[in-house]
Structure formats: structure tokens, C-alpha cells
Amino acid sequence: MSKKLFTLTVLGGLMLANSAFADKLTVISYGGASKAAQVTAFYKPYEEKTKTQVIAGEWNGEISKLIAMNDTKTVTWDVLDTEDTDRARGCEEGLFEKLDYERLGTPGDWIEGTKSDDGCGVGIFVWSNVLAYNADKLKVAPTGWADFWDVKKFPGKRSLRKSARGSLEFALMADGVPPAEVYKLLSTKEGVDRAFKKLDEIKPYIQWWEAGAQPPQYLVAGDVVMASSYNGRIHAAQQSGSNLKIVWNQNLYQFDEWAIPRGTKNLDKAYDFIKFAMQPEQQKLYTEQMAYGPSNTKAAEMLDKSLADDLPTAAENQKNALRVNVEFWLENAETLEQKFNAWASKS
């Protein structure tokens, strides 16, 4: 009798737990600190409001997974947090829904660029790849990528993301190319050759990074004197007491976006979730935990000024900044990444 009673009690508990959620929605992000902030700002509040269970998953831009699900008509993802470059590739492959932006909130409140040109994405936040340094270890502050390349004035190792995207843009800006002319030059053989020639100058001094957590770790440990880094990671390190600083001049910024995989069985619910997450109150919650610029202008107005001034979307930080050219990388990523990997592998 006691075993039967125990079994009935467990089953009853499971039924009560499941009954708390009327529906389920699978939302995929890149994981890490950003996902943790999304859980607090988007997932849990949405669950409480709608009684819809948010099943949180992760990916790392593997378009092949989306292609496989689409081909076999087994799409299990409903909403996707995707970098604008990944969204562009997926949209070109026909893997994402074309969005009805009027169903996602108030487009008039969104910053420029929130609606993707191809209609497949809506910007969640803006993040930047910036020049960062440890002010406890570097007494003279660098001012831009030319200083990053100056190994005489700033001796020691420096860290770059092991990728053509970012490295080539920074190399040209270090070589005196204004941000507005970078992609025009990179679209030529001469421009690509010039970028790699500039990278040759600091190759012996580079300690590559591949995960976003690495640059602040390298800086705090004193392994490198400067590093390119995601601004949100540096802000998090600052909040933990590290005296890391950001140089906003010549930062490289882009959007993370919401996209809806084509073939989802929860299309209406996916729209409902994104509309909820685009609200200024929810974006404010996210930004207070992860220092990326909200796409909703009303969210920015709600933020403490000290935080708002330390975001990629701040007017001062947009001066002399460069937005990642999604179309350029859509057309040239495969060729340039192969060339970059071959170059990086040579001693």
C-alpha cells in the first residue's frame, strides 16, 4: 500500500507541475552569460505571464542543424537568437520565416537597423567587439587599433579573435583606413592583401581567443596587454572588480536578432514571445545584466545614465564606429576564412 501511495503521490505531483504550463515553446540562444540574462529578462517573465513553458536550448550558429530539420520536416526550434550574419545565411537558405514586423510591437520605437534588410530578423540588442585593456597593468591608455599594433610603445602579447571577421577590419583601421572606407577596400584584392600584410606585423605577438570569456581572463591574468573583446564581457569583469577599460573608438558592432525557423508548429506563439521580449521593460532587464544596447529606444530611456553611456548604442560610442557589413561577409566569409586559417596556421 505504501509503495502504491508513493507512486500515486509522485504522479500527482508531476501532473500538477505539467498543468502549470498550458503550452511549450523552444527558444534557442548562444548560451553563456547572455542566455542567463535572457532567462531572467525574457523566459521566466514570459512563462509567468502566459503559462507557456520556455524550453531553453543552445546553438553556435550551426546552420546545418536548421537545414537538416527543415529537410526532414522535423523543426523543433520555435524562436532563435541569431547573430545578424548567421540570420543572413539562414534567410538566404530559406530557413527562416519572413516576419510581419507589425506583429512584433511598435517598430517606430526601434533603433535604425532593428528590422533586417531581408525581412527574416528583428534586432534584440547591439553588441560591439572593442579594444580592451587592464588599467592596472597599462599606465598609458591606448586610443585605437594603431596603438594595438604599436608593439614598441605597448610591448607584450595582445589578443584577437581567431577569425577573419574582425581581424581584417581592425588591421585596416590600424593602417589608417577610416571606418567608412573599410569594406569598400576589403572588397578588393589590394585591400585584402593590405589587411594580411598589416596582420603580419603583429603575428608573433598574438595570443588568439575563440571563446568570449577568454579576453577578460587573459587581461586580468596579465597574459596580454590589450585584447579585442565583446563589450558585455568586459563590463561583466568590471562589475566583478577588475580594472578593465574599453576603447570605444573604432569599435565593430552588430545585432543579435530574433528569427523564427520556417516550419515551426508554434508560429503564433513564437510571434507572441518575440513581441513580449521586444518590450522596453524586458529589454531594460536584459541590459542591466548584460551591457548590450537595447534595440527599443524606450528601454534606453529607462536605464541608469551610467549604464546607458557604457553601451554600444550610446551616441558618443557610435562616433567613428563600424557596423559589421552582413552582406559583405555573406558573400566573402568562406573565401576569407579559409585564407585566414591558412595564414594563421603558418609559423
Which among 100, 103, 93, 105 is positioned nearest to 119, based on CA atoms? 100
**pLDDT tens readout for residues 184-234:** 999 999 999 999 999 999 999 999 999 888 999 999 999 999 999 999 999
Same fold, 2-126+255-313 and 127-253+321-345: yes
pLDDT digits (tens, 9 = 90+) for 230-266: 999 999 999 999 999 999 999 999 999 999 999 999 9
List pLDDT tens digits, range 11-27: 455 444 445 677 999 99
- Specify the pTM: 0.88
Q: Give yes or no for residue 137 having a pLDDT over 50.
A: yes
Tell the CATH superfamily of the 2-126+255-313 domain. Periplasmic binding protein-like II (3.40.190.10)
Q: Which residues contact 201 (CB under 8 A, 6 or more apart)?
A: 149
Domain ranges for the chain, please list them.
2-126+255-313, 127-253+321-345
Residue whose cell numbers read 552569460: 33
* Domain covering 127-253+321-345 assigned CATH 3.40.190.10 in the classification: yes
Of residues 282, 274, 238, the one with CA closest to residue 258 = 274
pLDDT digits (tens, 9 = 90+) for 48-106: 999 999 999 999 888 899 999 999 999 999 999 999 999 999 999 999 999 999 999 99
Give the confidence band of 136 by pLDDT, cuts at 50, 70, 90: very high
Task: Decide if pLDDT at 113 tops 50.
Answer: yes
Higher pLDDT, 60 or 298: 298
Q: What's 265's DSSP letter?
A: S
